[in-house]
A and B are shown apart, each in its own frame.
Chain A
């Protein structure tokens, strides 16, 4: 999987959606390559689900265009939809069907050939770990299994693009881990778009991440860049016999010092000079009793605050070359 040469499977341009006068999604543009897992991150009400609904053809965009493998979703919906698998926020399950019957229905609806039907269902059940429950009624399955049936439904016709809207919501930790590894597996041959409001989820399964805030894309980069972005510039330090915070601030490279509870300190620093080594030797020399030293992970909220502030600053002081972040 070489992302730079893989063909584009999905291309959204200037996607917008208004409900009445309220703009829910504004000018969102992005691309997805084959084999890529793209995470859509954002707080509730950021417009993630609306974007997903538009990508899957369940909602008509107010503006912009969507192309699935080069086919325009709005001009040729049937041809484009055949290449999409979609799991909405609430899995669209018929409780009175058995898993097998339901998947057969989903496959038939997606125009899987009669001769390939058995194989397609077999593949989806195995992939989603449903073999044990294939004869059971969907209504009698646990939430985790129902979620898996929802995913199986989205991949039974082997689509190019799989769109999953909050696939791990309401599951227990073990189920979440299983679903995540399933999504990773799917990323091998399909392109996957995943929406969530849980940051670690994106970090564990996605190749690329996009953050939405109030209907806009405020961040779009690889997952490694997000990780650096989150943990780059702050250290969490615990000292048994702490000095005055002013002494800490005098160390080389230390920018600002925040005092936290239990003799802990948050030390901010500029990315180019890391004060870690200096801090450790100073602690040894002055017997501060260092017991904790770790890169502090900013929470999703911090990332949002940071991103939205950055956006506002840039709007107030436009960059000289005119490239404002999206």
Chain B
């Protein structure tokens, strides 16, 4: 049932130009990032050879690519997630899902999975870009996988937050602006808390993504992301239930 809803959302998403435009623009930006990193690598390659333990192409090209993609996703996910629930509410189509024998949890999970499937295509394109480096060298698969895991968790967190904000309003644009504001806020917390161990810093999403970017998979970071996702999914379910209770 979750997948029925997920595929329904994916279909809606891909029948509008928005999804295609986002995929195209995102790919363009990522490709630019990627190529500039390739350029930089070629420029510094002679000096790298003289180092005793030089960084490989994965560290020089792939890690910055994923780091940049994380920032772009921060801005793009609210735009995709804005319509998930607010549009259904605006066109009063939620009644179809609610009067079907489907629980609120299934509706929210379906929407979340649908959005994740879309985000996986974006991540898939990034991975394909990284894999193309096999044409001229070898990759550090461990580092690549840690980056993929990190960006998946990060994107899922963005998606969960976006879904929740979308459940609060009937105006997709407000949902987008709200989602973007919330995500930027969580990112800025990181910048404002300069000292290393402040509690604010611990809240920052990107701060928890960084170790993945360096190839370090820390269970604390994984737990943080999973808690973040679970919290906002539960809040979305509660919010939808409240509609039914209070009307």
Residue positions of A touching B, CB distance < 8 A: 17, 19, 50, 53, 56-60, 77-79, 81-82, 84, 86, 88, 90, 92-97, 101, 105-106, 108-111, 153
Contact = CB atoms under 8 A, between A and B. Distances in A.
Nearest to B4: A108
A42 B97 CA distance: 28
A63 B175 CA distance: 34
| Range of interface residues on B (Cβ < 8 Å) | 20 to 34
A79 B101 CA distance: 7
Interface in B4-27: 4-5, 8, 11-12, 15-16
Given A59-B247, A94-B12, A88 B95 contact: yes
Interface in B205-247: 244-247
A133 to B, nearest CB: 18
Interface string B92-124: 111111111111000000000000000000000
Contact of A60 (B11, B95, B96, B244): B244
B40 interface: no
A88 B92 CA distance: 9
A96 B96 contact: no
Contacts of B96: 92, 106, 109, 153
Nearest to B242: A60
Binding site of B, secondary structure by majority: helix, strand, loop or mixed? helix
A209 B1 CA distance: 37
A60 B246 CA distance: 8
Given A78-B103, A90-B92, A94-B93, A60 B245 contact: yes
5 closest A-B pairs by beta carbon, nearest first, are: A92-B96, A109-B100, A92-B93, A96-B15, A86-B99
Nearest to A137: B15
Interface string B55-86: 00000000000000000000000000000000
B88 to A, nearest CB: 8
B12 A57 contact: no
Given A19-B247, A59-B247, A96-B15, A81 B93 contact: no
A320 to B, nearest CB: 41
B215 to A, nearest CB: 42
Contact of A92 (B8, B16, B95, B245): B95
Nearest to A106: B96
B102 to A, nearest CB: 6
A94 B94 CA distance: 10
